[in-house]
Structure 1
């Protein structure tokens, strides 16, 4: 089996306690070292004692790491495909995304730098500086591309500790191994697989942290100013114009990349009668081949089917729980798309986000902004400039795409949920007495 060691400040570490990782058929494919609390404490202390690498060295090493991560990736792609159940093409795309994010990490981070701030000390002005030294990540396992974001913290000079998902630890293991080979010291970036009761020690010991998870994560960390929670996206599509030209965009928003991401649409709201659009969506989604849909262990797929049936009570199923699971006969199953018609936009199901292509279609009245709130990405199929301005002003809509842009549209220069550097950095005022020595010049 493939072995995932912890990557500590003194190199790889194989713990006594091992977690066995299985693929979607139940076959054992890997073992992961689960480190104890003391190892975490000592590792985080070492990160705090380390100094940041010079910026030029960080940028050079990140570029090299991107090339290392991308090369000879066939076995990695196959392994992650087997374990995650995502389509192979999506894993290949994610690998390319992470590799490219390495080379552009510093430029992406700098997108959030205030125009009035400089990277180094000036005679008088604002200087962009880190809010801390050590950044912790509790990573998600729903898609490998999530690991493209924390690279920005490394580019900005943070030492980074990653707790990988128990579902898919292979991407951060490969990435951190590449970063170390490229020139980052063992005390600059570490991998700390551990049990849940140890995981909080990583966050407690860091200056700042980022955590992925569901509503329980938001409830636990939402009030902690040192932690940036990445919760459910509840992304949506709003249609006020003719929906037929936008059908491809809506289908892609729901089902692209297996429909597992926070930037996949779970709500579709339409001004007027939603039934014709819902019927057309159901026809398109039902025609998707199994090869572009997620696979799960059969028991997990059946549990998702039962959960969907319960959540959908009171809705009109167009693609319901009865057709959700396709048993492949090898211990795994394909999850087919689900689509339900809601009686109104305030139905509670509109906020139900599930890890496969699943959307809820509802009628919408432009006087009611409430159903659009708390949305990571909103694609608005509209030419109503007044409505667009209202949507842009709504603080709980994190990202607004107008027209022919699916909810999953992204490139490194766009903020995901604001810029990560908004959380990592601050601007200090510096005023130097004329003639003073510059021996203490700040280096990013």
Structure 2
């Protein structure tokens, strides 16, 4: 049985309190040390002592990149990448193929840490992290300084790639205290082992497995905290300026029929032999297939088992495209409900059957496992609480709008929005809408991302601030 320890002060620590982590069939999977809330103060003090203001960031970047290459290829702590994916699947119910792909996504982001930082700094270069200055024009500069030293990170268990966030904070010179998600302590532990193996100073990281009682302690003792959670945690932390809170995404896709073209499943050839509609477009830097609108929309909902906060929770169809939404619903309904360890599985299993039954979806039991049946539920009124509701499964609501209707009121409050439209004015309005965090135009799924790209704003804008800075004309330093 695997064991996940506490990590602080650059080494493993034991705990008198150990939690037994079970898999999605209820079988014992791992023993996880539990850090008491009273330990947070000491762990953060150790991190502060390890936080060197003049740390060699370029050396840290090299080691993070090396750790990324190890993460997806090496045996770490006696665990291969394949075994790690199996453990994550058993612990979370996520399909095995998705767990393996997620590890590769995280590893790629770490290996490309320099490129990721270009998204984070003003001017599109990591230079401000090295110099502490921003130069908007020759002879003009301002300071670029961290607002603290210690970041708390309250991790979820829905997707391993979220751990790139705290790795980027390390790359920016911060030290980090991570509270792993309850179901997936394996991923942050593997990341830590990869960093240590690559020569990264591991005393700059604390791994503190534990319960909800650790969250207020992290917020109190750390300078900034990034947290993921649901409405209950949002009500506790959502208005705290020290916290960057990531709640349900409620991401959406808008499809204009004049942008789609051909009816689903029956693309009309163009004179050059290419079919019309989505087949004539290429998704920008996207792995999804854009060969027909049904395939595209299913992938927006189904990708990574629907567990990402950027998977589509609602599809809006503006105009007349008979059968399009019905075809998507039928494709989702036909998905087999398989054991997540089956390489063909696409739908996650739920460890907590009671939680599955509380969702707006249909909870079903197959071979002793609980699933929320994949669905696109049509005709849900926007005032209905089910509209756009996010659950960690390939489940979404579909809504038809008349041609010419303004969809923006229904798109507000979305983490990510994909606009399949030719209406430039709508694109501009959505780009300026403060409640939409990510916007994609054309056949780019809402879950599309690039390492370091803004998620809920830029992480660096939360961790750094600009300062007035001016040097005398006469050389002074």
After TM superposition, the score normalised by the length of structure 1 is: 0.89
CA distance in 2, matches of 1:222, 1:388: 28
CA distance in 2, matches of 1:213, 1:239: 29
Which residue matches 2:381?
344
- Please list the CA deviations of residues 72-120 of structure 1 after superposition, one character each: whole Å capped at 9, or x if unmatched: 3121111111111111111111111111121223432332322398441
Greater mean alpha carbon deviation, residues 385-394 or residues 230-239: 385-394
CA distance in 1, matches of 2:132, 2:188: 35
Give the secondary-structure state (helix, strand or coil) at the position aligned to 1:232: coil
Is the CA contact (8 Å cut-off) linking 1:344 and 1:364 kept in structure 2? Answer: no
Which residue matches 2:34?
34
CA distance in 2, matches of 1:155, 1:200: 25
CA distance in 1, matches of 2:183, 2:93: 11
Equivalent runs, 1:22-421 vs 2, <5 Å: 22-52=22-52, 53-70=55-72, 71=74, 72-115=80-123, 118=128, 119-120=130-131, 125-242=141-258, 243=260, 244=264, 245-272=292-319, 276-290=323-337, 291-297=345-351, 300-301=352-353, 303-304=355-356, 306-308=357-359, 311=360, 321=362, 324-329=363-368, 332-364=369-401, 366-421=405-460
* CA positional deviation for 1:254: 0.6
Give the secondary-structure state (helix, strand or coil) at the position aligned to 2:115: helix
Any unmatched runs of 5+ in structure 1? 312-319, 439-444
* CA positional deviation for 1:247: 1.7
CA distance in 1, matches of 2:380, 2:213: 42
CA distance in 2, matches of 1:77, 1:195: 24
Is the CA contact (8 Å cut-off) linking 1:235 and 1:375 kept in structure 2? Answer: yes
Is the CA contact (8 Å cut-off) linking 1:238 and 1:379 kept in structure 2? Answer: yes
Does the C-alpha gap of structure 1 residues 361 and 274 become closer, same or farther in structure 2, counting only changes over 3 Å?
Answer: farther
Is the CA contact (8 Å cut-off) linking 2:388 and 2:396 kept in structure 1? Answer: no
Is the CA contact (8 Å cut-off) linking 1:335 and 1:356 kept in structure 2? Answer: yes
CA distance in 2, matches of 1:50, 1:112: 24
* CA positional deviation for 1:368: 4.7
Is the CA contact (8 Å cut-off) linking 1:267 and 1:351 kept in structure 2? Answer: yes
Is the CA contact (8 Å cut-off) linking 1:139 and 1:164 kept in structure 2? Answer: yes
* CA positional deviation for 1:413: 4.7
- Please list the CA deviations of residues 216-246 of structure 1 after superposition, one character each: whole Å capped at 9, or x if unmatched: 2222222111100001100001112255342
Is the CA contact (8 Å cut-off) linking 1:106 and 1:156 kept in structure 2? Answer: no
Give the secondary-structure state (helix, strand or coil) at the position aligned to 1:199: helix
Any unmatched runs of 5+ in structure 2? 75-79, 134-138, 265-291, 338-344
CA distance in 2, matches of 1:429, 1:182: 37
Greater mean alpha carbon deviation, residues 156-165 or residues 359-368: 359-368
- Please list the CA deviations of residues 374-421 of structure 1 after superposition, one character each: whole Å capped at 9, or x if unmatched: 001111111111222222222111111111111111111532222211
Give the secondary-structure state (helix, strand or coil) at the position aligned to 1:349: coil
After TM superposition, the score normalised by the length of structure 2 is: 0.83
CA distance in 1, matches of 2:257, 2:322: 15
Is the CA contact (8 Å cut-off) linking 2:93 and 2:350 kept in structure 1? Answer: yes
Structure 1 vs Structure 2 CA RMSD: 2.1
* CA positional deviation for 1:273: 5.8
Is the CA contact (8 Å cut-off) linking 1:77 and 1:88 kept in structure 2? Answer: yes
Q: How many residues align?
A: 421
Is the CA contact (8 Å cut-off) linking 1:160 and 1:190 kept in structure 2? Answer: yes
Which residue matches 1:423?
462
Is the CA contact (8 Å cut-off) linking 2:192 and 2:202 kept in structure 1? Answer: no
Does the C-alpha gap of structure 1 residues 274 and 342 become closer, same or farther in structure 2, counting only changes over 3 Å?
Answer: farther
CA distance in 1, matches of 2:255, 2:161: 29
Is the CA contact (8 Å cut-off) linking 1:269 and 1:345 kept in structure 2? Answer: no
Does the C-alpha gap of structure 1 residues 345 and 195 become closer, same or farther in structure 2, counting only changes over 3 Å?
Answer: closer
CA distance in 2, matches of 1:426, 1:97: 29
Which residue matches 2:268?
none
Is the CA contact (8 Å cut-off) linking 2:152 and 2:176 kept in structure 1? Answer: yes
Give the secondary-structure state (helix, strand or coil) at the position aligned to 2:103: helix
CA distance in 1, matches of 2:320, 2:257: 12
